[in-house]
């Protein structure tokens, strides 16, 4: 069944509502009919605007906090405003170049993600968050072994997603220099191409079993390295958040509960984990599904490679945040993070 076309009056009220939301986002002050007439070319008198505002108030789109004040938008108004955004203005070419250049300077995946939230916080002047994916979701790309001393090694575990984990290994006996390449080859033959869960089982079996590749002089170092690698792959904290811009919440003044949610992380992680693709999602107030975020809006997206989403990132702010600008920033930063992680 085709949707009913709006009448001229309904169309005008829709424009009035968008103007109220846009003005409140810009000024953070209640909006009156006189200001609407002065700031927007609505083509009608103040009296008509007042009538439209009365209807919008009765329908739950705006409220009047005080008898003599203007109106402010409700969550219903913000949702209508966001749903009515037909096209997001892309960032300028210099802005895109600056974003890509800053992200590309990241030394590993976690550094890229840390840079991404710094950028989002700066671009939106809100709190930016990103979820660090579980290390076990990736596959081992390489394990570099560097000899720091006769009895000390540095293990550098690299996944196909660009995650890098470094661990020191203290050996009970010195490792001969000529045995280092053999140990490196043995470890990589066992690990490369496996998921982290499978790799941890394979490396433990290699070190503990009767593997023909493990010579007597390598058995001790191999067992010690395997123990450290298994601990790295299985005991690393998962589902961590990186935050930036929390002073922006303090300045907002009324979002103490959001700060508490960020400290607990579980609530925010649940929202970010819901990101299943690279599109941008906007949740407002009660849509966030938790009391701590009833006064907040969340703009989020998934990031990852073509093989799938690795985690979520986004921006938290008051319900009156700049939705078009925030959506544009989240969309752009998420896109470039995904490109870098995919090696494009």
Q: Return per-residue pLDDT of the chain as tens, 344 residues.
A: 344 567 878 888 899 999 999 999 998 889 988 889 888 888 888 889 999 999 999 999 999 877 667 889 999 999 999 998 877 778 888 888 888 889 988 878 888 899 999 999 999 999 899 988 765 566 788 889 899 988 899 988 887 766 778 889 898 888 888 889 988 998 898 888 887 777 777 877 777 666 677 777 788 888 888 888 777 766 555 557 888 888 877 665 556 667 777 766 677 777 777 676 778 999 998 888 877 788 889 999 988 877 777 888 999 988 889 999 999 999 999 999 988 887 77
Task: Please report the pLDDT score of residue 120 as a whole number.
Answer: 93
118 and 252, same domain (yes or no): yes
108 and 143, same domain (yes or no): no
Task: Please report the pLDDT score of residue 217 as a whole number.
Answer: 78
CATH number of the CATH domain containing 163: 3.30.390.60
40 and 174, same domain (yes or no): no
Show the domain range for 58.
8-81
Contact 132, 110 (CB under 8 A): yes
206 and 127, same domain (yes or no): no
245 and 333, same domain (yes or no): yes
184 and 103, same domain (yes or no): no
242 and 197, same domain (yes or no): no
Evaluate whether residue 30 is within a structural domain: yes
Counted domains in the chain: 3
76 and 103, same domain (yes or no): no
Evaluate whether residue 2 is within a structural domain: no
Evaluate whether residue 88 is within a structural domain: no
Tell me which of 215, 235, 255 is where a domain ends.
Answer: 235
Tell me which of 16, 48, 81 is where a domain ends.
Answer: 81
Evaluate whether residue 1 is within a structural domain: no
Evaluate whether residue 155 is within a structural domain: yes
Tell me which of 216, 235, 254 is where a domain ends.
Answer: 235
226 and 313, same domain (yes or no): no
CATH number of the CATH domain containing 313: 3.30.450.40
Task: Please report the pLDDT score of residue 1 as a whole number.
Answer: 38
12 and 146, same domain (yes or no): no
Evaluate whether residue 279 is within a structural domain: yes
CATH number of the CATH domain containing 29: 1.10.10.10
Task: Please report the pLDDT score of residue 2 as a whole number.
Answer: 45
Evaluate whether residue 168 is within a structural domain: yes
33 and 152, same domain (yes or no): no
212 and 281, same domain (yes or no): no
Task: Please report the pLDDT score of residue 340 as a whole number.
Answer: 87
Evaluate whether residue 313 is within a structural domain: yes
């Amino acid at each position: 069944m085709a949707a009913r076309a709006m009448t001229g009056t309904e169309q005008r009220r829709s424009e009035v509502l968008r103007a109220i939301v846009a003005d409140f986002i810009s000024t953070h002050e209640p909006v009156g009919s006189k200001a609407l007439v002065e700031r927007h070319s609505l083509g009608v008198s103040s009296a008509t605007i007042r009538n439209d505002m009365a209807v919008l108030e009765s329908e739950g789109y705006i409220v009047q906090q005080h008898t003599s004040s203007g109106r402010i938008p409700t969550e219903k108004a913000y949702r209508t405003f966001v749903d009515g955004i037909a096209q997001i203005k892309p960032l300028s070419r210099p802005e895109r170049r600056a974003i890509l250049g800053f992200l590309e300077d990241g030394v590993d995946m976690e550094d890229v993600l840390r840079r991404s939230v710094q950028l989002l916080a700066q671009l939106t002047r809100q709190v930016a968050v990103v979820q660090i994916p579980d290390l076990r979701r990736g596959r081992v790309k390489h394990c570099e072994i560097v000899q720091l001393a006769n009895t000390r090694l540095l293990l550098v575990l690299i996944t196909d997603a660009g995650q890098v984990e470094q661990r020191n290994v203290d050996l009970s006996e010195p490792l001969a220099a000529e045995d280092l390449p053999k140990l490196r080859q043995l470890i990589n033959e066992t690990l490369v191409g496996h998921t982290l869960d499978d790799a941890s089982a394979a490396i433990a079996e290699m070190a503990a079993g009767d593997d023909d590749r493990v010579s007597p002089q390598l058995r001790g170092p191999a067992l010690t390295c395997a123990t450290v690698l298994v601990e790295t792959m299985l005991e690393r904290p998962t589902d961590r958040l990186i935050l930036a811009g929390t002073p922006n919440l303090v300045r907002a003044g009324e979002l103490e509960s959001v700060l508490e949610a960020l400290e607990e992380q579980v609530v925010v992680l649940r929202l970010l984990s819901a990101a299943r693709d690279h599109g941008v999602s906007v949740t407002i107030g009660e849509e966030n599904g938790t009391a701590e975020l009833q006064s907040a809006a969340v703009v989020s997206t998934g990031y990852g490679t073509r093989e799938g989403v690795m985690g979520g990132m986004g921006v938290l702010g008051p319900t009156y945040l700049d939705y078009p600008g925030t959506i544009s920033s989240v969309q752009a930063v998420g896109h470039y993070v995904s490109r870098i992680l995919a090696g494009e």
